[in-house]
Each structure stands twice: as C-alpha cells, then as structure tokens.
Structure 1
C-alpha cells in the first residue's frame, strides 16, 4: 500500500510539473461554448462548463481567453453553430493559438465530455479528446481529467524534439549550439526562436541566420541555417611608422585563421587608437578594409593615418586668485615637454592622471586653508601645435586654525599629546592656515602613539567646528583607547628558502609581548633592510580573546644570489672588467658570501668574503675575508698585497652597532721610479701590516639601498703597528655622517660629511698609501682622483697626502624613472686635506654638478659630471665626467 501511495504522489507531481514548464510560454486557448445533450435542467452547463474548464487550465498555468471577451467576439461574429473552421477563426480573433469546442452528453447515469483541440492556423492535426464518468457527481473530476489531457496534448505538440545546425564550414557546430538558450525538450515558442536568431546575429560571425521547423512524432525539429562571414586569411598594417606592425597585431583580438567579426573589429580599432594615444598620437585615425577572395576567405588590411605626435603645450590654471598658479602646476603629475622629456616621458598626456591631478589641486588648496575649494573636470583640447589642459578652480574662503583640544580616553597629559601633533603649531601664527594634511597626520600619529602603550585598536577622530566670524576651524581630537592587546602568536608565511629563525630574529614583537606600533614598524623596516624579500607585510589578526592578537608576517622572497660579469669605464681605472658571484642568504640562514674580481688600468683585486650576522642565532656577527690586490699609485710605484681579516659585530641597542676586525697583510712595493718620485716615505721591499679596527655605527635609515629618510653616523679608529707589531705604524680616526630627508614629489635631500685624522704610532713615517687624498667621484667631484693633497716642498708636483681631511656633499636626489629605479641628482661638494704642519683653515675646494644613478645588476652605477670651482698651482678645476660601479657613500 505504501508503494501505491508513493506511485500516486509521483504521478500527481508529474501532472502538475509538466504543465508548469509549458506555462512559461505564450500559448493561449479559447474555450468555446459546449453543446449540451442532456435534460433541460442542465442547459446552464453551456456557459458554466467553459468557465470551469478555463479555471482548471489556469490552475495548470495554461492561459485562456477571458470568457466575457470571447462571448463578445462570438456575438459580434453572429456565430450560431460551431465547426472546425469557425473554431479556428474564433481562436485567431481572440489572439489564441488553440481553441477547444465540443459537447457534454448524459445517457442515464453515464456522462461524457467530447471535445476537439484545434490549432488556429490549421498547421496541425485536430485532436479529439474525451472523458467518461458515472454520475453527475463526477462532473468536476471529469473536467479536471479533461484539462490534464489538454495540457498533456499541448505539451507533446509544442516540445522541441531536436536542434540542428547547417551551413558551418569554418566554425564548429557546437559554437552555435553552445550559444543557444533553448535546449532539446523545451517548449517551442516562436518568439523565443526569434530571440535566438537575434543572438546569433549579434555574435558577429554570420551574414545570414534562418530557422526551419519540422513536425515529428516527438515534437518540433529546429534547423538553424547559417551563412558564415569570411575567414581572415591574413592581416596587414598600412601606414604605421611610429609603432611596430607586430605590436599592433598583438593587441588585436582578430587573428589570422579566425572568422571575421565586425563587432570584434570595432573593438580592435579602439585598442589600436589607445595604443597610439599612449604614444602621444591623439589624432590617429584607424580603419580597416577587406580584400575578398574565393572560398569564403579575405585579407584584413588595417589602415592607419598616424597624424602628428602631440605633447602637452600648456597647462592652464583658471580661478587661482589667492595662490600662485605656477606653484599649483608644480603639484601636477602631468607637465609640459622639457629638456629631459626624452628620458622622463614628461609632456605626454596620460589621461588616467587627469583626475589624479584635479584631486591633487584640491588637496593642495585644502592644505593651505581653502576648506571648500573645488576643482572641475579637467578640460582637454587638442590643437595642431599641441595639447592644452585647463583646470578650473573655485577657491572659496580661506580659514585658519582656531583652538586645538583633546577629549575622550586620555592616557597621558595634554602637553605630551601636543608634542605628537602638528596642527597646534599653527594656532595664532600669521600664516597659520588650516592644513588638512597635518590634520590627517595628527590623527594617525595620535593613534600610533597610543599603540606604543599596547592599545592596538586605539582610534583618534577629529571634530571640526567652523567659525565664520573669524574664519577659523576649531579642532577637538577625540581619543578612544580600547583594551591593551598582547601578542598571542607570530606566524610566518611565504618563506620557502629563508628559515623562520632568520625572520624571527629581526622581529621586535614576539609571543607574549605587549603590542607596540613603533616596534611593529621597526620590525617591518628591519625585514625590508635584509633585502631578501620583494615584499614584506605584517598583518595584525584579531583572535577570539579581545586582549590578544596574532601577527602574520607575509613575505615574498626574491633572488639573493647573483653571478655577474661586465666591463665599464671609470675616470680612475679607465677601462675595467669585473666579475663576481654572491649569495646574500646562503642556505636560507642569512649568511653572506661572495667572490669577486676586478681588473683595471691601476687596480686589480680579488676578494673572498664570508659573514654570518648572527653566530649561532646570537647577536654576535662573525666573518672573514681574504684578498689579493695590485695597485699602481700614480705610475710612481706598485703595491701588491695579500691578506685577510677576521670580522666581528655586535648591536648596541636598536640602531647602533659595534664592529671590529683584525687585519694581517703582506705587501710588496716595487717598480719605484726614483727619478720621478724620490721620497723617504716609500721604499721598495716586502713588508707586513698588522692592524685592528673598531667602529660604532648608528643607522636609522629606512632601507639599505637608496634610503629616503634617516641618518647613518660612524665613528671609527684603526690601530696599526705598536702593540700589534708590523711595519706600518699609525692611528687613523674617521667620523662619517649621512642624513636623508624626504621632500616633495618623492625627492630626497642628502647630506654627507667626513672628517679624518692620522697620527703616528711609533718612529716610522705614516705610509703614503694610508694618508688622506681627496678628489674624484667618492669625495669631491670635479677634481681628478687623489689630486687634492699636500705636495712636497721640493718644488715637484708629487702628492704627499695629508693627515687631516674634511669633505662634505650636498645632494638633491629626484626620481627620473621609478619603474626601473633611475635617479637623478644635483650636488655641491667641498673639501680639503692638510699636512701635519698645516692648520685646518677650511679653505675648501668646491664643486657643483649633476648625475644619474641606477642600481643595476652589476651594482650601484653612477654617472656624474662635476665642475671644480677652484684652481691653483697644484689642483686643477674645470669639468669632469666620472663613472663608477660600486657602493654609494
């Protein structure tokens, strides 16, 4: 019995679901009056039977014509009898696809419903349907059964039995079939078929699309007949001079061997125009022509009229009444063409920067008190002589800073908080105009300040009060500290080579520490300065406990090994050759090992170095170096050396490091030209040098290569001879300092200075090659290398070297090409060297110049021109181009 009930339920569901699929289509039935063959008291069924049948069909989601509308049509047509043709006519007049008419008969207790299902156009065979029941009480079940038979019959007649494609020669049939929304088994709907034809046309692959239908025993068979557009046999480019033909074809989606698609071609023309626009050809015209051939093939010719290359001729600032338009223009990323445009790319309109520059102008005004300043959409005009860009500004009123106060969760006195802020410094100042950038900086700095006390989720917000009477804004910083947060766990991700301990030892926050924003930032800087990773990101991840968080250190490793070889030219060594192999993260343990060799006109050097910055994961750094050098000093004598060092390092706090080493070297002086250079400080022979070095360095710079902020200061002393024995006896003191400060437009100011002092450490003279000399690319540019030096008193031009030295460099560094890391700079240098019998008078040799720097695969590359401003009998000034590959100072 359970099986019978289940089968019955499935049957009922099937009857209900099938018409539901059909109901989504637009087939409509006209239910015509029934002929009543029964006793007179049942004559009312003539009108009620169609209504009951219509109601049941509507329940099955088969639309029917409104009975009142249908009665009106029958009356207008003066229909008195129903036959097959009349039923079809009434269906068409009522916008129905089918009509139902028939009779109701009662013989004794038996009743029957006999109907005809008529297709309006006469394209399909009329179907006869009937239902027989016992007793008038079963009239409603009889109507239900008849409605179900009608729905099943309609479904079988309108079902799509098969879909075929004809006419494809190039495309696969599946290309058409996969783009059709209809499928086998769907109900046939002419409107939907028309939509499918439209969709196929919109693909752009066909000149013609037609559909044929055929009735089969299983339903409708559809055949899509297509006529394909020609196959692209070849693609040619005509008129391209400034762009390579291959680059143009590469950007196109239309390819040789594909079917021509006008829609895709239009998009291709736009892509080519964009390609020209990026090169400055804003008036370029791009079109195409087809050369048809037999067998449905064609050659596609892209025709280009490049026009004239346009540069930004002028940038117009309209509405700037209270600020200097020239200063505003300096804030823009876009600029007019200049002397170095061939290198920097300036003068070319990059349309994506227009909105950026409009926002930059608004920010510029907002940082100078114009709180309501607005900048309209930039207007670009293309003329024959170039491009004109206009920025229209509505300045509005200018406001100053009123009062600055604090409220909320104050964890420290306001005096300390004022030291964190910048906006309060403008209060009462004559030019104390409101500065949005300082407001944002204050909000960030206050939140960061709270994080240093463990409040990781601290927030700072600003409430601004406008005072129109005196045109000021009062600022109230509202502090929300939240809870103190501790580090639950530090997780490391992304390192496949570098070991976890190498990363963890640079972290200044570990498991269980109280959170500190300063220590988090410092950890990021230390990991970045390792230079093992392309990217370093430390994410704070909340945990279920509100007072705990996890730190996730995500790194992306980069290659730390390098094999290089090359040739170059420097003013000291002329043509030189260099080769090296280096691994800065050996075995993923942070070991640095390298072997290098360089060969030039005056210097040959081989160098093998190993350095472990954390011996056994301690703070002690340990390393060794072995080297062989051969130096020709001014063609007067040669010095050949072989030696080695043992090196140590140890941190003294977060930014300071103590370094010391011991050097033992055996060297030989040979080829001494006594006719040209006859002085007691140098003699031929083989000697030993035994020296110790101690230095303290404090480094707060933000990165190892090309820092933009921070300082690096070193104090060192080198002790040779004396207690350490050896033939060279001297003590050398050197103080070296660099300061980097970021300026506007990603530029940097850099100051570098060095002072040195040499003293004897016994009875022997200080060797000439250990004395101080200046001049050249690493000290005072614009003067020949080692040329700034005291001379002997014998009237010769022989350089003696000094025991006291000082030089300084002032550099303004700016980006030329950020993508490949090319920097430009202008500089001012000054320096001099003094002998032991000369006082330091700071009568310095000065120079000015400019240069280019690039961190190349061979190392830091420098090409600089210096012009010496001073000249005397010993030292020549003038201009000098200098080139080197080596570490920047």
Structure 2
C-alpha cells in the first residue's frame, strides 16, 4: 500500500510538471472535444503475478483503459476495487513507465494471498474436542489466507472455551509460509487453564419468589462448572417461570459475572424486575361460526385454563390456545384461526382476555387419489376409506384419517407407510391425496434348520403370502420337524372383508408338539428338566367393527392335547387326548395411531375384555370359564420417543381339576410377560407357603417401556416389568400382593415384515437371586 501511494504521488507530480510545459489552448478557439496529451496517453496495460486465465477478470474490474490519459485518481480507485472485489491479493503495486515509442505503460504487480495448506492444526486441546473447535475456525483448507479471518477465528475459539467455562484459556496462532508454493500452514496452540466453577447465584429484586425456587429452574448450579449457553437459556427460563406464576411483565434487567482473584470461581448476580402479579379477570369469546358450527361459546369457555379468578399462568394459557386449535383441526376446520388479546390492568393486577375465533369453512373432500399401489387392488384401500366416510363430498375428519391409517396398517405387514395430504388448492373443496408405500416382498418361501438346546436338531419349511392376488388375503403353511419331540404342521388363512362387508375372518388348522424346559426350583427339587405337550386342533374367528373404534370378535376352538407334565406337588403325570371345545367373545376399543409401522404405535390406546367358555353344552373334557382384561397406552414424547404402558389381568374359573388344566393355567416369566426371568419361572405359592407347580388361576402383570426410534426400522427400548400369579388358595390377592420385578433394555428391528426383539432383563426377585436373562423372539410385543 505504501509503495502504490508513493508511486502514484510521484506520478501526480510528473503529470503536473508536464502540464505546466504544455501550451495553453487559445481562449477564443474552444475545442469541441478534450485533447489528450500524447506524452500522458496510456499505450499499454500489463499484469504481473497472476495466471493468464485470470487476466480477463482483473481487466473487467479496473477502469483504467488503453488510449486514455493517465489519471492518478483512477489508478488509486483501481487498487481499492481490486482489494475489495476480489480479496485475492496480499499486496498490489502499480508502476508507470515510458512506453516504447511514446506514451506510458501501466503495470499492475499483484501479489496473491497464500492458500491454506491441509487442515488447520489445533494442539493443546484436552477438554474440548477437535471438531467443536474446528467448527469455530473460519479458515478452511484450500481457501485463501486472510489475517482478519485468523484474528476472528482466534476470538471464536476463545468464545467457545468461555461458553464451556474456561475463562482462563489462551490461544496463540502460528503461520508457516512456503514461498515456493505460496501456501501457509496455520496452527492454533491452546492453553486451556482451569475450568471455572459457580460459587454463588444471587438474585436482586425478587420480592415475591424465593431464591431457592428460582435456582430450581436453572441448569446452572452452584458447585458445578459454568456453561455460558446454559446460562443464557436459564435467563429465558426464569422469565418464563415468572410469567407462569402471574408476573407477566417480569424481565431480567441486568446480570453480572464476578470472578475470584484467581478466576477459578464465579459469582452470578441476576437482577429481576418482577412487575405486578396478574389474576384472570374476565374471558370474552368472539366466535365467528362456520356454516356448520363446531363449538358453542360455552364449550370454548369450558376449555379455557386458567379459569377466571386464578393466577394468570401464561404457559398454561398458551397450551389452552393450542388445544383449541387442535380440536378445530381434528374436526376438519383446517382454516380456523384462534387469536388472543390480553388487556393488563397494572394498577389492580387483573388481565382481561379476549379470544377472537374464526372457525372458517370445513374442508370438504373432492376426489380421493390413491397413489403408490404396486400389487394391492385399489378397491382394497378404498373400501376402508369409504367405511370411515373418507370419500368425495364428506367432511375432512382428522380422526377418521387416523383410524384409516390404523386399519390399513392392520391389513398386513406388506403396508410400510400411509400418508394423507389434502392438496394446496384454494377454497373449501380439496382433493385428498392418499400415498401408500408397499413392501417390495409380500410372499415367503424358506427352507432352513438349526439346533436348539430344547428341540435339538430341527428343520423347517414355510410358504406364505401376505397379500394374495392383491386382495389382502393372508395364507401361510408351515412344517417343522425336530429330533427331540418337536414338530409343527400348520395352515392359516385370513381376510379383512368377507361378502362385501367389513367382517374379518380367519381360520387355522394345527398340529404342534413342543418341549419346554423347567428351571430353578422344579429342576433342583424333582430332577425334571422339561415337559412336553402336543396340540392338535383348529379355530374359526369372525370379527366386525361396531363403531369407528370399537370391535367385537367371536372365536370357536376345538383342540385335543397330549401332555407329559407335573401335578400340584411337582410329580410326573401324563394326559392323553384331553379335549377342549370353547367359544370366546372379545370386545375391544382401539385408538392407536401408527406413523411408521404396525409394530410401533405412537399414541392412543387399546383396551379389550374377553370371555372364554369351555365345556358345558359343547361337551369335551375341559370345563372352565376365563375372564381377561388387557389395556395398553401410548404417549408421544419429544424427538418421536414413545412412552408405552401395558397391564393384563386374567381369572380362570375351572371345574376340572387344576393339574389336568396345567397347560391352560398361568405362569409368568419370559419376554412376553416379566422379563429378567426364565420362561414360566414364576409359579404361584399357596396359602401354606408351597409352590403350586400346576400354575395359578389368577394372573396380573404390567409392563412400562420407553421406546427410542434410532432409524425407520430400528428402535431401542428400556423397560420395567412386574407381575405375579396366585392359585385357588388365595381368594384375596391383596393379602399376598408381592409382585416380581424386572428391568432392562433392548433393541427391536424389522425382519422381512416381522418384528425381531433382542432384550436383556435383570430379575430382582428370582429364586436363585437377582440376575440377568437374555431374551430373543420374533413377534410383536404389546
């Protein structure tokens, strides 16, 4: 810069001298155009220090032109523009020398900035990760180096350390320039120092709320390391807390940081301007109804919270507004608007609230377009929509769409995703776009085998189709043969509609033989390590919705059982051709909402009551009545996490002796009941303190899960289970209400349309002492 100023100044003096020796034009003979002194005329412009392909860009920026008279002012402007418009150059020198023959030659000598070579080096960072510091540095490999960006990066690194509580951090920078390649290597050397801790948090001006209650709202805590970002969040949280306690005009007027002499301890002073506390005076609802009104003013008043006369909780009031908007959306009033205008009386501490609600027009469905079907017939989807009045001319009902998504998912695992989107056209009539994603594979053909500790060597063959002919028919045939009393022959068929009605039908024929191991107490006391049972039979099931969310089903079962099992005392007994004929009635209510798959409800609930009657006028050997209740709840949380709860209770009223119904009675333990225990490890203990090895006639167990989706087909889960069984000697279960408990974690993933569950549970009350148990199965949970 100094060079160019000196040279331009010299040039200006030369120009003045030459002008002084030039004869003046006669005043009486003015020239129509400016005359150019040939001695000052630019004959040539040259560039040094740049590549040939960049010359065009430089020429487009400078305003000095060949043929014009030289101008020191214009040369200075060219230098400024080259710096400003390119940012490419470390220094710019402009030389002017006589051209060959006559006139002048202007030479731009450009010194380019060096390029940054490789990654920026960071050394000395032990507490903060390289990536976090790298994100704060604006110097990037291959870019041109700039002193300002180096300074700015240094300040950002120091800021990053201060935000994490390292107020004593120091940063030095080093540049290593290679003049041959015009590159530069940059290194940040960091001395982190000791991380600062919070010694005190003091509040000033908090006349109505105690310091203790305010500190509870903060992430910043005394005795903990200071984090600037957390502290900034805390200031906002404190204001919200004041507003939720009625101090709507509260603000943080000032906050200061004080350091100890060695800068290792921090004292925070937060000054609060509380303002008056407000209570709710009067609600006024201005409601503009649609052609088909959704809610009355009285209904809106019932939704409002806080109520008149209560402290004005701003957060609670905002949640109320969201709830009202959601209620309108659910009823299809997508164009509704809800606005609130508060009127604060600071003198009396009262806020009157006016709600202006415009219901807008209800969206009416135009055409229904179904996209994405590859194999499934269009009518299979459309009949489910028509059943819920999702068709042209009907109102857009969000609840009906949620139910339709549920029913489409329940048709089978070949449905991978379901989306409903109204188009963006103006007006109250809008087409509905239904997008279905199908699994590319709906059939199953497998041949395989393996070895298991219970079944020994076994082979298995399966053939099935989940969407036969594209009509949602499901048919499966399975054959299995094992070396240790293990074989299976089964055929199943089901359809969601029969005879053009939404009546479900399913049937199955089976012949299965299984061996189960006994664990723990039974094995040690009686030397028996397994029991075997064989079931041969079939079932017919019919089901039909009674309303949008309620369903009734009836199942008929005919089954013969052979079993080598144990009686009440644990002694070996043998049952042959034990016949059961029963009818089961089930009533259920299902409001579950599925967003990703049939295995992962994200909200809603499922409740069922069932009654099974066996024997009596059906004849057969076994006579009993079974009463069961089952309930599951699902709550959406942040980041698509789901909190799920499940409780099941069942009571078996048997006329047949208990040991003859051992295979129908209750035992707990395993992945589907109480995890952390072996399968069927939890037996009832009778009133005399002895184990009833035939099982119980009463059962209660509960499961609580927190589900975390990692990907579309991978979910993590943490769980807590508890449960117990009782026999006939316990007429009042609450006299022996000692539930067995287990907890653990696991993962679940999609396996060709089926849910694979891998879980590990810790049983707190196992007979052999607390311990872990690994579980694996393929099939849904609750």
Tell me if TM exceeds 0.5: yes
Instruction: Give CA-to-partner distance per residue, 1:477-517, whole Å, 9 cap, x none.
Output: 33434445523344567889998767764576432113446
Measured at CA, do residues 461 and 786 of structure 1 come closer, stay the same or move farther in structure 2, by a change above 3 Å? same
1:633 matched to 2:517? The reply is yes
Structure 1 distance, partners of 2:642, 2:253, is: 32
1:422 matched to 2:334? The reply is no
- TM superposition shift of 1:772: 0.6
1:367 matched to 2:244? The reply is yes
SS at match of 2:571: coil
The normalised TM-score by structure 2 is 0.68
- Find the counterpart in structure 1 of residue 203 from structure 2: 318
User: Superposed, which structure 2 residues align to 1:298-447 within 5 Å?
Assistant: 300=185, 302-305=187-190, 307=192, 316=201, 318=203, 320-323=206-209, 334=219, 349=227, 351=229, 356-375=233-252, 393-409=272-288, 414-419=297-302, 421-423=303-305, 426-428=307-309, 432-447=310-325
Measured at CA, do residues 556 and 710 of structure 1 come closer, stay the same or move farther in structure 2, by a change above 3 Å? same
1:619 matched to 2:497? The reply is no
Structure 2 distance, partners of 1:512, 1:337, is: 63
Worse-matched range after superposition: 722-731 or 484-493: 722-731
CA contact (8 A) 1:772 1:805 kept: yes
Structure 1 distance, partners of 2:16, 2:107, is: 31
- TM superposition shift of 1:443: 3.5
- Find the counterpart in structure 1 of residue 523 from structure 2: none
Instruction: Give CA-to-partner distance per residue, 1:230-288, whole Å, 9 cap, x none.
Output: 56665565445567879988997767677655566567667877888899878665554
- Find the counterpart in structure 2 of residue 804 from structure 1: 698
User: Superposed, which structure 2 residues align to 1:650-799 within 5 Å?
Assistant: 650-659=544-553, 669=563, 677-680=570-573, 682-683=574-575, 694-703=585-594, 710-718=604-612, 730-740=624-634, 752-760=646-654, 766-775=660-669, 778-779=672-673, 786-790=680-684, 799=693
Measured at CA, do residues 792 and 118 of structure 1 come closer, stay the same or move farther in structure 2, by a change above 3 Å? closer
- Find the counterpart in structure 2 of residue 227 from structure 1: 111
- Find the counterpart in structure 2 of residue 62 from structure 1: none
CA contact (8 A) 2:165 2:227 kept: yes
User: Superposed, which structure 2 residues align to 1:810-889 within 5 Å?
Assistant: 811=704, 829=722, 831-835=724-728, 838-842=730-734, 843-846=736-739, 851-852=744-745, 854-856=747-749, 859=756, 862-865=759-762, 867-868=764-765, 876=767, 879-885=770-776, 887-889=780-782
CA contact (8 A) 2:165 2:195 kept: yes
- TM superposition shift of 1:406: 3.0
CA contact (8 A) 2:608 2:631 kept: yes
Structure 1 distance, partners of 2:239, 2:47, is: 60
Measured at CA, do residues 518 and 241 of structure 1 come closer, stay the same or move farther in structure 2, by a change above 3 Å? same
Measured at CA, do residues 499 and 86 of structure 1 come closer, stay the same or move farther in structure 2, by a change above 3 Å? farther
Instruction: Give CA-to-partner distance per residue, 1:557-609, whole Å, 9 cap, x none.
Output: 9999999xxxxxxxx99xxxx99999999999878899999999x99999998
- TM superposition shift of 1:713: 0.8
Higher relative contact order, structure no. (Cα contacts within 8 Å, ≥ 6 residues apart): 2
1:190 matched to 2:83? The reply is no
2:394 maps to which of 513, 528, 536: 513
- TM superposition shift of 1:541: 3.2
SS at match of 1:194: helix
Instruction: Give CA-to-partner distance per residue, 1:25-62, whole Å, 9 cap, x none.
Output: xxxxxxxxxxxxxxxxxxxxxxxxxxxxxxxxxxxxxx
Measured at CA, do residues 852 and 315 of structure 1 come closer, stay the same or move farther in structure 2, by a change above 3 Å? farther
- TM superposition shift of 1:612: 5.8
CA contact (8 A) 1:311 1:387 kept: yes
Contiguous gaps of at least 5 residues in structure 1: 1-83, 92-98, 106-112, 125-156, 339-345, 564-571, 869-874
CA contact (8 A) 2:79 2:92 kept: no
Worse-matched range after superposition: 520-529 or 795-804: 520-529
CA contact (8 A) 2:464 2:477 kept: yes
Structure 1 distance, partners of 2:255, 2:441, is: 46
Structure 1 distance, partners of 2:763, 2:266, is: 37
Task: Say what the alpha-carbon RMSD is for the aligned residues.
Answer: 6.2
1:88 matched to 2:19? The reply is yes
Structure 2 distance, partners of 1:588, 1:381, is: 73
- Find the counterpart in structure 2 of residue 475 from structure 1: 353
CA contact (8 A) 1:448 1:518 kept: no
Structure 2 distance, partners of 1:220, 1:501, is: 87
1:167 matched to 2:49? The reply is yes
Structure 1 distance, partners of 2:732, 2:339, is: 56
1:202 maps to which of 64, 78, 87: 87
How many residues align structurally? 713
CA contact (8 A) 1:312 1:348 kept: yes
Measured at CA, do residues 849 and 686 of structure 1 come closer, stay the same or move farther in structure 2, by a change above 3 Å? closer
- Find the counterpart in structure 2 of residue 123 from structure 1: 40
- TM superposition shift of 1:698: 1.2
CA contact (8 A) 1:237 1:303 kept: yes
Structure 2 distance, partners of 1:629, 1:474, is: 73
- TM superposition shift of 1:712: 1.8
SS at match of 2:40: coil
- TM superposition shift of 1:736: 0.9
Which one has the largest radius of gyration? 1
CA contact (8 A) 2:676 2:774 kept: no
Measured at CA, do residues 195 and 522 of structure 1 come closer, stay the same or move farther in structure 2, by a change above 3 Å? farther
User: Superposed, which structure 2 residues align to 1:234-245 within 5 Å?
Assistant: 235=119, 238-239=123-124
SS at match of 2:25: strand
CA contact (8 A) 1:367 1:434 kept: yes
Structure 1 distance, partners of 2:534, 2:54, is: 78
- TM superposition shift of 1:210: 4.8
CA contact (8 A) 1:407 1:477 kept: yes
CA contact (8 A) 1:201 1:209 kept: no
Structure 2 distance, partners of 1:536, 1:527, is: 11
Instruction: Give CA-to-partner distance per residue, 1:372-415, whole Å, 9 cap, x none.
Output: 12246877889976888776543322222223343443656544
- TM superposition shift of 1:203: 2.8
The normalised TM-score by structure 1 is 0.61
Structure 2 distance, partners of 1:502, 1:556, is: 14
Worse-matched range after superposition: 395-404 or 186-195: 186-195
Measured at CA, do residues 367 and 114 of structure 1 come closer, stay the same or move farther in structure 2, by a change above 3 Å? closer
Instruction: Give CA-to-partner distance per residue, 1:455-491, whole Å, 9 cap, x none.
Output: 5533333343434564222334334344455233445
